Amino acid sequence: MRIFEPHIHMTSRTTADYRAMYDAGVRALVEPAFWTGQPRTGVGSFRDYFDGLIGWERFRAAQFGIAHHCTIALNPKEANDPRLTGVLDVLPRYLAKDGVVAVGEIGFDSRTPEEEKVFRRQLELAKEFELPVLVHTPHRDKAEGTRHTLRLVAESGISPEMVLVDHLNETTVAMVHDSGCVMGFSIYPDTKMAPDRMVRILSEWGTDRMVVNSAADWGHSDPLSTLYTGRAMLAAGFTDDEVDRVLWRNPVDFFARSGRLSLEGASSVGATFEGNSILRGERPEGDAG
Amino acid sequence: MSGSEPLDDKARSVLASLCAQVAERPSRVAVLFPAVGRRVARGPGPSGDPTGTLGPTLEDLARIELLRTVVESLPPRDAATEVTDLYEYGDADEKRAVLHGLHLLDGAVPDVAGTVRNLLADALRTNDTRLIAAAAASPAQSLSDDHAWRQTVLKCLFVGVPLRLVAGLDTRVDLELARMCADFAHERSAAGRSVPADTRPVLDRFPEHPFHERPQEG
């Protein structure tokens, strides 16, 4: 089973996770820019975070044979903090970079006017940089938030196949299916969506435009939930080809629309990043100047 | 455009259009500079080194032309600010290209010379040999004072960047650098480690600081 993990926050995960993911069949992933649990206080924190996503984390993933890509955005939750509006001004520099395969995560948290303004601005940026969009749907008031999201996407004029609407469940799948957008499901240990529920949704709606992710981060989550979903699909009678479509071809097709997906990335990075290795204390011959 | 012969006609044509956009609106360089690899060209340049350590890659050469356009389109201090932003927001490839083009900034303006020195120093603080090599090889090293320049040479010795790449090696080697290299060689030898062959050309020019490698079994 080969797995393209389309949504995972590896910054919060360990090298043991990388190893387990590789063993499970993960060969490529996308790490969306999002909230990091602790609210940030200034634009500089975001710059460092973005630099990490295009730099150190890409290097770390490559050490485990996994090609790392990212999405860049000001997330909905922090869009409400006036200290952070300057993040919008630095986004263009990052959206121009190789390895940045979408604008995201954008969308709604509490559906405030500030969130809507930032959402609309970032949809404009996606058009300008010809990038796909990764949309986060809210945890609270999810159905209405998703409906509102689809209205903004339609008004933006962005083609629906360029938009992945994520964190869906039984109550939101129909409207996103009708919109023509790509449908994302985050499989969590307890909440959001579980492998058996995912299998029921796939049985009802088919595998077209369907994408599954672990959305694993710093909270209670499991980076192998994509694997568990693939196994549950096979147990329910889906074919290997259908599993491959959901776990590999669908997310690859979506992010390839950026023109910046490189699935050979794992082999192009050296053994050190800016001279620093992940091997603590073990250094190849030659001093750390 | 003397640096761009390695680029084929198509790459040169795309690059010319990017340069024209920057000439018209220099701030556009912020988003055009990062996109050069996928829009113009990428791969080893004349040095044949795909990592860009031994010389600029194709994308470095194309980015240098964008830097040249920035410098020609803005007053010296504004150009220095724009180039600093490109460096500070850049990934390792973009930073390396900025270092390769740093000499294009007008070092005769004191503020600009200060900016150049700061960027060289930043690159030399990293442990990324590609950035260290680009900073050490820059003709802008002429703006570094002797202490900073000697530290550059020593850093190259430490991380294995060939000394032949260092700008000014033929003219700036002095007794103090020879002392530093001799101390370095003694320290390596005392630890039972090999002494980089690159120390010899420096030490041989100053026999006042003879260094005799000790037997390794000590």
Inter-chain contact A276–B127, Cβ cutoff 8 Å? yes
B163 found inside a domain: no
Inter-chain contact A274–B160, Cβ cutoff 8 Å? no
B13 found inside a domain: yes
Residue B217 pLDDT exceeds 50: no
Q: How is residue B206 annotated by DSSP?
A: -
pLDDT bracket for residue A277 (50, 70, 90): low
| Domain span including residue A51 | 3-257
Q: How near does any CA of chain B get to the CA of A182, in Å?
A: 26
pLDDT bracket for residue A288 (50, 70, 90): very low
B158 found inside a domain: no
Complete edge-to-edge strand list for the sheet that includes strand A67-72: A3-5, A26-32, A67-72, A100-107, A133-136, A163-166, A182-186, A210-213
A262 found inside a domain: no
Rounded distance, CA B89 to CA B104, Å? 19
pLDDT bracket for residue B76 (50, 70, 90): very high
Cα angle B101, B102, B103 (rounded to 5 degrees) comes to 95
pLDDT digits (tens, 9 = 90+) for B122-176: 999 988 899 999 999 999 999 999 999 999 999 999 999 999 999 999 999 999 9
Q: What's the total number of domains in chain A? A: 1
Q: How near does any CA of chain B get to the CA of A104, in Å?
A: 18
A279 found inside a domain: no
Determine the pLDDT at residue A265: 46
Determine the pLDDT at residue A270: 46
CATH of the domain at A203: 3.20.20.140
Inter-chain contact A93–B34, Cβ cutoff 8 Å? yes
Tokens 């005799």 belong to B212
Residue A190 pLDDT exceeds 80: no
Q: How near does any CA of chain B get to the CA of A273, in Å?
A: 7
pLDDT bracket for residue A283 (50, 70, 90): very low
pLDDT digits (tens, 9 = 90+) for A62-78: 999 999 999 999 999 99
- Residues from chain B that touch A276, judged by Cβ atoms under 8 A, are 127
| Domain span including residue B44 | 2-144
The pTM assigned to this predicted structure is: 0.86
B37 found inside a domain: yes
B199 found inside a domain: no
Inter-chain contact B127–A274, Cβ cutoff 8 Å? yes
Inter-chain contact B129–A275, Cβ cutoff 8 Å? yes
pLDDT digits (tens, 9 = 90+) for B21-71: 999 999 999 999 999 999 999 999 999 999 999 999 999 999 999 999 999
Determine the pLDDT at residue A189: 84
Nearest CA in chain A to B160: A286
- Residues from chain A that touch B30, judged by Cβ atoms under 8 A, are 92-93, 96
Tokens 């150009």 belong to B79
B122 found inside a domain: yes
Rounded distance, CA A203 to CA A253, Å? 21
B139 found inside a domain: yes
Rounded distance, CA B183 to CA B195, Å? 11
A277 found inside a domain: no
State yes or no: ipTM above 0.85: no
Residue pairs between chains A and B whose CB atoms are closer than 8 Å: 59
Q: How is residue A277 annotated by DSSP?
A: -
As a residue count, chain B comes to 218
A192 found inside a domain: yes
Task: Please provide residue A268's backbone torsions phi and psi, each rounded to the nearest 5 degrees.
Answer: -100, 5
* Nearest CA among B159, B160, B163 for reference residue B149: B163
Determine the pLDDT at residue A264: 73
Q: What's the total number of domains in chain B? A: 1
Rounded distance, CA A161 to CA A258, Å? 12
Identify the contact set of chain B against chain A, taking CB-CB distances under 8 A: 30-35, 37-38, 51, 89, 91-92, 126-129, 131-132, 154-155, 158-160
Inter-chain contact A286–B89, Cβ cutoff 8 Å? no
A229 found inside a domain: yes
A285 found inside a domain: no
| Average of per-residue pLDDT across A26-55 | 96
Cβ contact B13:B19 at 8 Å: no
Chain-wide mean pLDDT for chain A?
A: 92
A8 found inside a domain: yes
Q: How is residue A273 annotated by DSSP?
A: B
Determine the pLDDT at residue A81: 95
B214 found inside a domain: no
